[in-house]
């Protein structure tokens, strides 16, 4: 079974802190994604990566950056956390051209106070 793991299930940070959210997948997938999930808004794509060191902005990249130094790991970085970044963050991975399914991690619920 594909496994996508995220470093924390719950995280509480202060405004202005630098926050790292880590995601690791074990299926050698090329594509990895970061979403945030908010009530009534569904999932919104923050950033995605289709290869090591490659990244593309999603729909709401402002205030975030990402890093993909190894194929299995995709990190989301909040350079200076703000209260409006309080949310559920979901990581996903997906295989190559013929694969449609995204596999999701359990999510990290981040609270910024």
Question: Could you tell me how many residues of this chain bind other proteins (CB under 8 A)?
Answer: 29
Among 19, 24, 31, 32, binds other proteins (CB under 8 A): 31
How many whole angstroms separate alpha carbon 33 and alpha carbon 42?
Answer: 15
106 binds other proteins (CB under 8 A): yes
Q: In this chain, which stretch among 13-21, 33-41, 63-71, 74-82 interacts with other proteins, using CB under 8 A?
A: 33-41
> Among residues 112, 105, 113, which one has the least CA distance to residue 9?
105
Judging by beta carbons within 10 Å of its beta carbon (0-12, 13-18, 19+), is residue 16 exposed, middle or buried?
exposed
Q: How far is the CB of 15 from other proteins (least distance, A)?
A: 27
104 binds other proteins (CB under 8 A): yes
Total count of residues recorded for the chain: 113
Closer to other proteins by CB, 8 or 104: give it: 104
């Amino acid at each position: 079974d594909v496994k996508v793991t995220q470093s924390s299930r719950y995280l509480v940070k202060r405004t202005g802190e630098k926050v790292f959210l880590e995601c690791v997948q074990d299926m050698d997938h090329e594509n990895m994604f970061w979403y945030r999930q908010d009530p009534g808004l569904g999932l919104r794509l923050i950033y995605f990566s289709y290869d090591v060191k490659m990244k593309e902005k999603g729909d709401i990249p402002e205030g975030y950056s990402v890093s993909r130094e190894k194929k299995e790991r995709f990190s989301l970085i909040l350079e200076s956390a703000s209260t409006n970044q309080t949310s559920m963050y979901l990581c996903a991975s997906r295989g190559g051209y013929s694969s449609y399914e995204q596999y999701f991690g359990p999510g990290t619920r981040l609270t910024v106070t």
